[in-house]
Structure 1
């Protein structure tokens, strides 16, 4: 089996270090920095002890070299980069290739519509399969803990069980098939987790404001952020109820996911996770103090390619979203984009995003026809 990874960040590096152990899988990497990569990736424990190594057979910036005979492609790229990358590799893909996204939300399925029509299978993971941090770029990575099991959706849905069976072999991890890729697209993970936290940290920020210290993203989580997170999650639940045929338990809502019923319990759960304690907020240190890092993936991806997509589905289903609107209106003012015009979600900066309305999907019936 020939498997290509798109993206050499934390998760991409861990995937290659894990999958590269298998003798029956040839691993390839598409990267813009091929000269900075070793062909052997070290996967390390927290203390730096090497757990195992994985081999990468082909490393290239030339799409044709790494994807032309790939059976499976897994992207760990941010959504805003995936759209450009998929266009570059399309001319070289096999007709029946499987393309996966980890995680699977972000609207990537819309960028692959023509590939799906031509026989490609698209699959997405509800969440990443573990937590990792680069030790040395292109050479080593810390494995900070894996999931016990994964949940995966595919288009066409009839291929999901087959995809899960193959991925169980590749990842040595239980993979559960979801009934519908919507259960991936609408999973309330980073699009509401990160945006609720960013709102909590930065909602009073103005140019010229400096923070005295670095803020820990999870370890210093607040009840205000938990309240925003729970309220946003409830709006996503209302969307799923309105759609009607989505199994709510398989979407994995926030209270159930963290095992918390109140904002205080949520704060304790999130702030107390050892694997998350070192993750910092998107801040840059300057001479006067810390300021937001507007080029962070948190800002570039989780609003535009996360919460905006959820909001668009809510528009289709006519579900009211006062909390999501509050967060997006704040981000709109914060970042200078236009999402709302006279209270309507029709701003000019929505036109280029992977929203269902931009791909001919205008009703609940259209949604289920697309994700069948």
Structure 2
């Protein structure tokens, strides 16, 4: 590795940002800066660090034990120039909603050897990076992961974060630019986090885009609330542990539609690309949650026995003396998820009736419009990450991540 400390810039201010910043800053070989574009938040975080002398990261170990480590970020700032300066890794840890804002803020300061990581990146991350960074993008290296590295809980803002559970394996894509990375990015991420999760590269970013994780949450929400009568309930239903056999069938069908898209890409004569690394949902869960479920007899049995999710419930809000579902998360699941999948399906010529059904229901619940009569012509496509928003219309452009028009 290059001499001197690994320079990491963590972008964001939520619990995941605290988590990655703490992991990085607890490693003596890393120099960690934090970019929080919310000036008030950045000031609060900076003051908390000064008062407490650093951060505390609590890591939940196997067997129920907990381990605490100290973390000392170099600085917290809302100034992109100060944060980005000579960073080896720029890690976007925010929700997909904020990626565009952060990319626009850092663009003037991104150098030719920049490594930009979406942790998680969510579908369409590469399309967004190419669009915002323009000619700089060809020099940059992009990584995009399916999920955050750990589930986490923010105990005290700016001071204390708890890493509650990690996947066994976290798959991410690497799009290498012409610039020379000062540090091997995947190895650096592994160094920061330690043994968990195991960061594994995919063969192409479209394999991560078509990951089952894309449809998992919205399909479970639809399965729970698709026939809801609109009346408040007394308590939030269990999320994974409340999945029905009918919902499991929906998940399997959505999984097969993604596999059909991957097969169409793999067998196309227009591009030489192997997308057979896309897994069905059962295989995906087997690998990511290995050892954390009671049985793997079938998908239903596995989803309803993953221990780390035993207490996870549907997001709810108070209304009329009870609780009603909070569908706000579906906007991200649409714009950086299902709508991207549909856009790829349209270009590859693959029918996706269940994905269409999911999009139609979800967009109605959040008052958005993307899919109209089977086409992505709705008024809200412009805020999504579907390839059509970025002018991509061919399989070659899908695979490249950018328009090939000169």
Q: TM-score, normalised by structure 2?
A: 0.82
| Matched residue, 2:137 | 117
Q: Confirm or deny that 1:34 pairs with 2:42.
A: yes
| Matched residue, 2:206 | 182
Q: Confirm or deny that 1:318 pairs with 2:349.
A: yes
Q: In structure 1, which of residues 202, 218, 224 is the aligned counterpart of residue 240 of structure 2?
A: 218
- Distance between the aligned counterparts of 1:285 and 1:351, measured in 2? 32
Q: Confirm or deny that 1:253 pairs with 2:273.
A: no
| Matched residue, 1:204 | 227
Q: Confirm or deny that 1:2 pairs with 2:2.
A: no
**Relative to 1, partners in 2 of residues 1:149 and 1:330: Cα closer, same or farther, differing over 3 Å?**
closer
1:64 is displaced (CA, Å) by 2.1
Give yes or no for contact 1:98–1:120 (8 Å, CA) kept in 2.
yes
- Answer with 231-240 or 328-337: which moved more: 328-337
What are the within-5 Å matches in structure 2 for residues 279-358 of structure 1? 279-295=312-328, 298-358=329-389
SS at structure 2 position matched to 1:187: coil
Q: Confirm or deny that 1:106 pairs with 2:105.
A: no
1:318-372 residue CA offsets vs partner (Å, 9 max, x unmatched): 1000100111111122222222333433222113322112223211122223379
**Relative to 1, partners in 2 of residues 1:20 and 1:306: Cα closer, same or farther, differing over 3 Å?**
same
SS at structure 2 position matched to 1:351: helix
What are the within-5 Å matches in structure 2 for residues 16-27 of structure 1? 16-27=21-32
**Relative to 1, partners in 2 of residues 1:154 and 1:243: Cα closer, same or farther, differing over 3 Å?**
same
Give yes or no for contact 2:35–2:76 (8 Å, CA) kept in 1.
yes
**Relative to 1, partners in 2 of residues 1:24 and 1:226: Cα closer, same or farther, differing over 3 Å?**
same
SS at structure 1 position matched to 2:383: coil
RMSD of the alignment, in Å?
2.7
1:189-223 residue CA offsets vs partner (Å, 9 max, x unmatched): 1x2110111101221346x5212211222232222
| Matched residue, 1:366 | 397
- Distance between the aligned counterparts of 1:120 and 1:44, measured in 2? 34
**Relative to 1, partners in 2 of residues 1:115 and 1:164: Cα closer, same or farther, differing over 3 Å?**
farther
Q: Confirm or deny that 1:266 pairs with 2:299.
A: yes
**Relative to 1, partners in 2 of residues 1:54 and 1:308: Cα closer, same or farther, differing over 3 Å?**
same
- Distance between the aligned counterparts of 1:254 and 1:216, measured in 2? 20
Number of aligned residue pairs: 366
Give yes or no for contact 1:282–1:292 (8 Å, CA) kept in 2.
yes
Q: In structure 2, which of residues 105, 120, 142 is the aligned counterpart of residue 88 of structure 1?
A: 105
1:244-285 residue CA offsets vs partner (Å, 9 max, x unmatched): 03342x33321112249x998323212222211232212112
1:287 is displaced (CA, Å) by 4.6
- Distance between the aligned counterparts of 1:185 and 1:246, measured in 2? 14
1:310 is displaced (CA, Å) by 0.6
Q: TM-score, normalised by structure 1?
A: 0.89
- Distance between the aligned counterparts of 1:120 and 1:72, measured in 2? 11
- Distance between the aligned counterparts of 1:257 and 1:188, measured in 2? 7
Give yes or no for contact 2:124–2:209 (8 Å, CA) kept in 1.
yes
1:113-141 residue CA offsets vs partner (Å, 9 max, x unmatched): 12653511111123332222222232222
**Relative to 1, partners in 2 of residues 1:88 and 1:176: Cα closer, same or farther, differing over 3 Å?**
same
- Distance between the aligned counterparts of 1:316 and 1:263, measured in 2? 35
SS at structure 2 position matched to 1:365: helix
**Relative to 1, partners in 2 of residues 1:292 and 1:167: Cα closer, same or farther, differing over 3 Å?**
same
- Distance between the aligned counterparts of 1:148 and 1:240, measured in 2? 24
**Relative to 1, partners in 2 of residues 1:164 and 1:352: Cα closer, same or farther, differing over 3 Å?**
same
Give yes or no for contact 1:79–1:107 (8 Å, CA) kept in 2.
no
- Distance between the aligned counterparts of 1:339 and 1:177, measured in 2? 31
- Distance between the aligned counterparts of 1:98 and 1:14, measured in 2? 20
Give yes or no for contact 1:126–1:183 (8 Å, CA) kept in 2.
no
